Amino acid sequence: MSAETFILLPDRARLGSVQKEKNDRLARTVPPETWVRSALLTPAEQLSLVDRIRQGDGLAEEELVARFSARIEVFAAGRTHDRELARDVMQEVLLNVFSALRAGQLRDAEKLGAFVFGIARNVVNNHLRSRSRHPASEPISDDLPAIDDDDDLADRMALVKRALRRLDATDQRILSMTLVDGCKPGEISSALGLSSDVVRARKSRALKKVTDRVRTWLRSGSR
Amino acid sequence: MTSQMTCDEIEQGDVMERYLLGRLDEASRDEVDEHLFTCDACFERLQTLRALRRELAATVGVRGVEVVPEKAGWIWRWTLLPALAVLVVAIGVTLGPRAFPPSGQSTSTSPGRPDRPAGTPGQPSPMALAELGKFQPPAFAAASLRGVPEAATARFRDGMAHYARGDYRGAIAGLRAAAALDPQAAHATFFLGICHVLNGELNDGIRALQQTIDAGDSPYLEEAHLYLARTFLQNLDPIRARQEIERTIGLRGPLEKDARQLLADLDRLPTTTP
């Protein structure tokens, strides 16, 4: 199942260069004048998407899958800490969403994202209850098929690697101690001989550099 | 339904980081989760942080050790330098100064023309300079398509499809078009410069790399300085090459070590005798 997300959506002026069939389909299904960067879907698009799913439009279903499958899987993995279960949950949630939409259970079609989230949360909680487990606040797993099987994340890994190499060794170490070891700035400052404020500032700048560069490179299509 | 956090609330503090590390209370975590279902920008940021953590974890065994520099491929040339130096000295002794033409005859007049020709007494020999300046093409791999590319991006990708096949001459048209459509697109001017240099068009390469630098801070700024330095070496202009090397060092980035090594290699090159 494709987990591709459309991170950058073009405006109408850019539609002349549409080549890919997938994008042609998207151009037909979503009015280009309403495409915007970063927003998931405008209220009008959500209404249109829900309407078409109710009418059994397969392309609309594909679009919904593309938009939400990775989100559901990441969410489920974060709650269950079980990569196989997360994938099963994702399938189950999507089936439930389609079923609910066809049955007209979404009253406010402009809240599609929240609706999908609500179903995902219920499905996850049901699984956890059935396993007599409670949702624990543990680190979000990144050992997921979502990374290995998803083109988007595979690309992102390559870009992150490149962006990381552009940081100096101290910044790399601060990020590693923060994100991998879970150290707090005070602990890092002792280890590196820096003040906590400096560690905090360097961490923040380094994270911004990496995320900004990856976003820029994703936009340019390079890595 | 929970209430959602806003993008601003998530940006402030370390909410996303704490979310990733499982340090949010349940209510806050629910709010972030719901927000992620409605916001592409924040979900994209989370995905990048997840990828970053995985990459860092892969190098955690060498924590405290700098990640391997990206341009390790240059090292092989440095290993050839001693042998090259011996060869150049031998040729120089055997044939004398006339063995190498003045640099002005080897390239057209251009922004890359040396201020002080190499090969003059006390300067490195042209052959050694040119050899030191050679480089292998920087790595590039196309990312999968997300959305419809704008015109400049589409042309860039066309060009880079040639680049990926090693067809640097073929890449130039697409990259030139991309750079014309968006002169601030550092990725386009950078690879355009690289392709010109690899195609032997040193002065065009110098212009494009300079344009990348003139565009200001970009992911390609540091590389542009160092590749420009190497291009000046190929163009037998050690003075401007040295300036670009020093600018690379001044950026204090991951290529600083490469730049210092290049400077040391330049200093060690055998010079022609009067």
Of B19, B44, B144, the CB nearest to A151: B144
Residues of chain A scoring pLDDT < 70: 1-40, 132-152, 220-223
CA distance B133 to chain A (A): 23
Residues of chain B scoring pLDDT < 50: 61-110, 112-116, 144-148
Interatomic CA distance for residues A6 and A15, integer angstroms: 15
Which of B70, B146, B150, B155 should we substitute to test contact with A (largest number of A Cβ atoms within 10 Å)? B146
Which of B148, B223, B249 should we substitute to test contact with A (largest number of A Cβ atoms within 10 Å)? B148
Residues 6+ apart with CB under 8 A from A40: A67, A113, B37, B38, B39, B40
C-alpha dihedral over A130, A71, A19, B149, to 10 degrees? -170
- pTM, to two decimals: 0.52
Which residue from A minimizes the CA distance to B66?
Answer: A169
C-alpha angle A127-A132-A135 in degrees, rounded to nearest 5: 65
A179/B149 touch (CB, cutoff 8 Å), yes or no: no
Q: Which two tokens stand for residue A33?
A: 């004048």
CA distance A39 to chain B (A): 6
CA distance A64 to chain B (A): 12
Helix (H, G, I), strand (E, B) or coil at B79: helix
B143/A222 touch (CB, cutoff 8 Å), yes or no: yes
| Tokens 């879907």 belong to residue | A41
- A39 interaction partners in chain B (CB closer than 8 Å): 39-40
Of B26, B44, B151, the CB nearest to A137: B26
Instruction: Return the number of CB contacts < 8 Å for A and B.
Output: 228
Residue B24 and residue B15 in contact, taking contact as beta carbons nearer than 8 Å: yes
Query: Which alpha helices (H) appear in chain B, and where do they start and end?
Result: 7-11, 15-20, 26-36, 40-58, 75-95, 103-106, 126-133, 151-164, 168-181, 186-198, 202-214, 221-234, 238-250, 256-268
Residues 6+ apart with CB under 8 A from A28: A59
Of A26, A151, A164, the CB nearest to B52: A164
Interatomic CA distance for residues B175 and B164, integer angstroms: 13
CA distance A98 to chain B (A): 16
Instruction: Say yes or no: A27 contacts chain B, CB-CB below 8 A.
Output: yes
A179/B222 touch (CB, cutoff 8 Å), yes or no: no
- B26 interaction partners in chain A (CB closer than 8 Å): 135, 137
User: CA nearest B66: which of A170, A189, A194?
Assistant: A170
B147/A177 touch (CB, cutoff 8 Å), yes or no: no
User: CA nearest B86: which of B125, B133, B135?
Assistant: B125
Spell B95-120 as b/e; 16+ CB within 10 A means b: eeeebbeebeebbeeeebbbeebbbe
Using CB atoms and an 8 Å cut-off, which of residues 100-129 of chain A contact chain B?
A: 113-114, 116-118, 120-121
Question: What pLDDT does B121 receive?
Answer: 54
Of B22, B40, B60, the CB nearest to A39: B40
Using CB atoms and an 8 Å cut-off, which of residues 71-90 of chain B contact chain A?
A: none
Instruction: Say yes or no: B3 contacts chain A, CB-CB below 8 A.
Output: no
Question: What pLDDT does A23 receive?
Answer: 38
C-alpha angle A103-A104-A110 in degrees, rounded to nearest 5: 140
CA distance B143 to chain A (A): 5
Residue A164 and residue A172 in contact, taking contact as beta carbons nearer than 8 Å: yes
Of A117, A175, A219, the CB nearest to B33: A117
Using CB atoms and an 8 Å cut-off, which of residues 137-196 of chain A contact chain B?
A: 137-140, 142-143, 147, 151-153, 155-169, 172-173, 175-182
Residue B72 carries which DSSP code?
A: G
